[in-house]
Amino acid sequence: MDHDAGVHVNEIDHPLAAERLAALRDESTPSSAFRRALHELSSFVVYEATRSLATESVEVTTPLTVTSGRRVAPQPLLVPVLRAGLGMLVAAQELLPDAPVGFIGVRRNEETLLPDAYMSTVPADLDGAPVVILDPMLATGGSLVYTCEQIADHNAGRLIVACILAAPEGLERVAEAGFDAEVHTASVDERLNEVGFIVPGLGDAGDRQFGIQ
C-alpha cells in the first residue's frame, strides 16, 4: 500500500479491473453497460478495501467433521455518498450482506465546487466500528471530507474509502483535513480541470449511471 501525503492509497492493479475501467471511461458506453461495469469494478475495489477487516473464529460443521472458520466482526457500516455512490452499494452488500447501511447525501455546488449536504442517516453511535465509504469519484475532495467529518462525529473506527477514480488534488485535500483514512481506487488520474472534473476521468458518474445528459 502506497502513502500519499499522509493518506494510505491503494491503487488496484488487476487486468479485470482495468478492463471494466476502460468501459467506464468510454463515452460511447450506454447507461446499462456503464452500470454493469461499475457494479463489477466496485466488487473488485470493495474486495481489496476490506482485505484487512478484523475477523473472529467460528465453528463450522462440514459434511465430514467440525472445523474452524472466520467471519468479519465487527461488521463495517457501508456509507454510499448519494447519488453516485448508489452504483457501488449493491456490489458492497453482495460481499458484506450483514453490514448495516447509512446514507449521506451531498451535491456539488457547480459555482463554488463545495459540497451542499441534504441528508444523513448515519447512526448516532458507531461504537468504534469501521466504516466503508462508497463514492465513485474522489475529485476535489470536498464531499469526502464532509462525509468523513460527519462519520468521525459518530464515534467511528477506521475510515475506508472505496472509489473508482481519484484525483491527486482530492487526495491532498483529504490528507490536509487530517483524517486517518485508507483510499482504495482503480486509478489515481492526472488532475482536475478548471471546473473540478477528473481528467482523463469518465465524466459525471451519477449522470452516466442514470441516463441524464
Q: Average the pLDDT over 133-149 and give the result.
A: 92
For 203, phi then psi, to 5°, come to 85, -155
pTM summary value: 0.90
CA distance to 11, 144, 164, 176, 180, per residue, from 122 (Å): 27, 15, 23, 24, 19
Amino acid at 59: E
Which is it for strands 198-199 and 66-72: parallel, antiparallel or unpaired?
A: unpaired
List active site positions: 108, 112, 204, 207
Grid cell digits, residue 51: 482485505
Contact 77, 126 (CB under 8 A): yes
Contact 137, 152 (CB under 8 A): no
Beta-bridge partners for 183: 9, 161
Grid cell digits, residue 87: 452504483
Structural domains present in the chain: 2-53+73-210 (3.40.50.2020)
Q: Average the pLDDT over 66-87 and give the result.
A: 94
Beta-bridge partners for 181: 159
Q: What is the pLDDT of residue 130?
A: 95
Reported as a single tens digit per residue, the pLDDT across 159-195 is 999 999 999 999 999 999 988 899 999 999 999 999 8
- Would you place residue 55 in the very low, low, confident or very high pLDDT band (cuts 50, 70, 90)? very high
Beta-bridge partners for 105: 82, 119
